[in-house]
Structure 1
Amino acid sequence: MWLVSVLGPLLKLYFCGIRVLIYQMLNKSFTLPALTKQNGRVAIVTGGTRGMGYETARHLASLGMHVIIAGNEREEGKVAVKKIHGEGTSGKAEYAFVDLTSLKSVRQFAQSFRDRGLPLHLLVNNAGTMLVPEQRTEEGFEFHFVLNYLGHFLLTNLLLDILKRSGRPGFCSKIVNMSSATHYAGIMHMDDLNRKICYSSHGAYAQSKLGLVLLTYYLQEQLTAGGFSVTVNAVDPGMVDTALYDNLWSLAQAMKKPVAKILFRTPAEGASITVYAAAASEMEGVGGCYLYNGEKRESSESSYDAELQAKLWKTSCELVGIKSP
């Protein structure tokens, strides 16, 4: 039982990785189309101090946006802001602390933002971790689950009313969730979301990324039904050469380095699909999509399960202590 629970997710995840590498070997990286200026629009990018998050923040600022880089690395945040401003960007960048593994910290960040009275036109739920050893937060949550999914679930809900007020027809507010091809290998263990039984870091990671796709579809349906000018999309950046892969097994890590130089996307290339979802004119008013390499793709079969979407939403509300609408 233990062997199946651990090896099953591991093999599925690496199979997904191989498929992505083959695709990237045979296809060029997505190239962004010309984008219109986003002057005066306000964005929050979680995990924006490095990697794809930084490249996303940098590009959005170059389009004229006021970008708030949200993360838990203060010194990295200061450096990121300085670099962006040093490029002579037409927009504005600033750093704000948030620890997405702490629901208390998420609430403090959201309240601090609310107190400023700013609009919010874009929320990029980018921050994440992958294949870390088993660990629990002070609030008792499994690390992948809370950082990749649950912290973003709470943040989105705490800022949702501002997003609703800030959007209007033709100029929708947008939520972009960073998923991954690994979600195809994900299984939502609704009776054990914190993976206390037969822990697998591979299974926990894939589950958290599937959770973001389920969240995307469910929330878009609710927003559309309510007539709100807010769109929600999930993006898949492919395999990108970032620090996410630092927790691979020693052998896999050794193999990754030469392979990454040839087949992996750069952080800027990986961020392009997020920027596309956030600022491309053809994505205006378009939500409920899973985007990969500039195209709408079919996500996993389980991600379209309406009953599972609703159940995860309700359970997540209970876990973070908010009322389910």
Structure 2
Amino acid sequence: MLSALRSYLLPAVRLYLLGLKVLLVQLFSRPPRLPVMPRQDGKVAIVTGGGRGIGYEVVCHMARLGAHVIIGGRDEQEGLAAVRRICEQYKEAKVEFKKLDLASLQSVRQFAQSFKERDLPLNILVNNAGVMLVPEGRTEDGFEQHFGINYLGHFLLTWLLLDTLKDSGKCGHVSRVVSVSSSAHRIGEIRLNDLNSCQHYSAHTAYCHSKLAQLLFSSHLHQEMQSGGFPVSSCAVDPGMVDTSLYRHLWTPLRLAQSVIAGLLFRTPAEGAATVLSAALSPVLEGDCGGGYWANGHRDVTTLLTFDPQLQLSLWEISLQLLGLQ
């Protein structure tokens, strides 16, 4: 009983204390501002979860700069409405919506195959979509939802599009994979024998674990691309605590408190998108300058665990096995 209580209560307390710390930092610091970025004419970008929140702001800005942006999302009505709004605002925008359900590996494969059949380049992939603190449940393929959606679905999507990313990059204009992470990774752990969180399930624990897994994947992918001499970079980005619908599964008292203080302490989606856009578009992040973990508009220090090469490799190999990839 005591062990189970610790498994449920302690992760929640740790996550909320971390959130409080992040809010205090945000209170006493200026939100990151996006510097002027060059035009992106001729470039193609995919943004998962681009129908709302941070993803929507990323899509808007890329479209305004001339990129051809594809929103990958589960909610078709929401995605098409986002496309309409952007096209009304920017008459020359090249934006479209394609169905992508990260909780279904079949949907991920269909999305990737459909994109590759169009023979378009892929210069930017923003792995933005995600869930937080959802009740215990499984994806279509039997994976715990945080692990399956935040991490494994994006792993598969990136893997299937990797050849296109390699072919689209070139010296001085590398293709970029940007994974939207969270400071919650700092209190995450990777239990290689229990990635599906079957033992004493906690939504708080599962969320933190999935964000750490995302960071380990991002780092290992960058190393693989660099060692292979491929014109692709990979980085992870923490947008901070942003006023989006991601918090709808908070405990009811905390959700009510969040709705009150969000306007004062949380960042707006546009402010949250600034670091994501910098990682995706900034000319100074070419070549060896890319990669890493970014927060508040600059490269940031993260936990030692994220640099563990054996843990990175083990998670990578297990993920390939789970997805049936070679």
Letter in 1 for 2:228: G
Partner of 1:311: 314
- CA distance in 2 between counterparts of 1:67 and 1:14 reads 35
Residues 183-222 of structure 1: pairs in structure 2 closer than 5 A = 183-222=185-224
Residues 35-184 of structure 1: pairs in structure 2 closer than 5 A = 35-88=37-90, 90-184=92-186
- CA distance in 2 between counterparts of 1:108 and 1:161 reads 16
In structure 2, the gaps of 5 or more residues are none
Partner of 2:277: 275
1:18 aligns with 2:54: no
TM-score, structure 1 normalization: 0.98
Is the Cα–Cα contact under 8 Å of residues 30 and 294 in structure 1 kept in the other structure? yes
TM-aligned CA deviation for residue 8 of structure 1: 2.4
- CA distance in 2 between counterparts of 1:172 and 1:8 reads 42
Is the Cα–Cα contact under 8 Å of residues 98 and 109 in structure 1 kept in the other structure? yes
- CA distance in 2 between counterparts of 1:309 and 1:91 reads 39
TM-aligned CA deviation for residue 90 of structure 1: 4.1
TM-aligned CA deviation for residue 89 of structure 1: 5.0
Is the Cα–Cα contact under 8 Å of residues 64 and 89 in structure 1 kept in the other structure? no
In structure 1, the gaps of 5 or more residues are none
Q: 1:91 to 1:283 in 2, by over 3 A?
A: farther
Secondary structure in 1 matching 2:172: coil
- CA distance in 2 between counterparts of 1:8 and 1:304 reads 25
Residues 213-292 of structure 1: pairs in structure 2 closer than 5 A = 213-285=215-287, 286-292=289-295
TM-aligned CA deviation for residue 137 of structure 1: 1.8
Aligned residues: CA RMSD: 0.9
Is the Cα–Cα contact under 8 Å of residues 190 and 209 in structure 2 kept in the other structure? yes
Q: How many residues align?
A: 323
Match for 2:324 among 315, 321, 325? 321
Q: Which moved more, 1:137-146 or 1:219-228?
A: 137-146
1:35-81, CA deviations, whole angstroms, 9 ceiling, x for partnerless residues? Answer: 00010100000000011111111111111100000001111111100
Partner of 1:301: 304
Letter in 1 for 2:151: Y
Letter in 2 for 1:17: G
- CA distance in 1 between counterparts of 2:78 and 2:178 reads 23
Is the Cα–Cα contact under 8 Å of residues 61 and 89 in structure 1 kept in the other structure? no
- CA distance in 1 between counterparts of 2:259 and 2:43 reads 38
1:124-143, CA deviations, whole angstroms, 9 ceiling, x for partnerless residues? Answer: 00000100100012311101
Is the Cα–Cα contact under 8 Å of residues 127 and 154 in structure 2 kept in the other structure? yes
Secondary structure in 1 matching 2:177: strand
TM-aligned CA deviation for residue 2 of structure 1: 1.1
Is the Cα–Cα contact under 8 Å of residues 45 and 124 in structure 2 kept in the other structure? yes
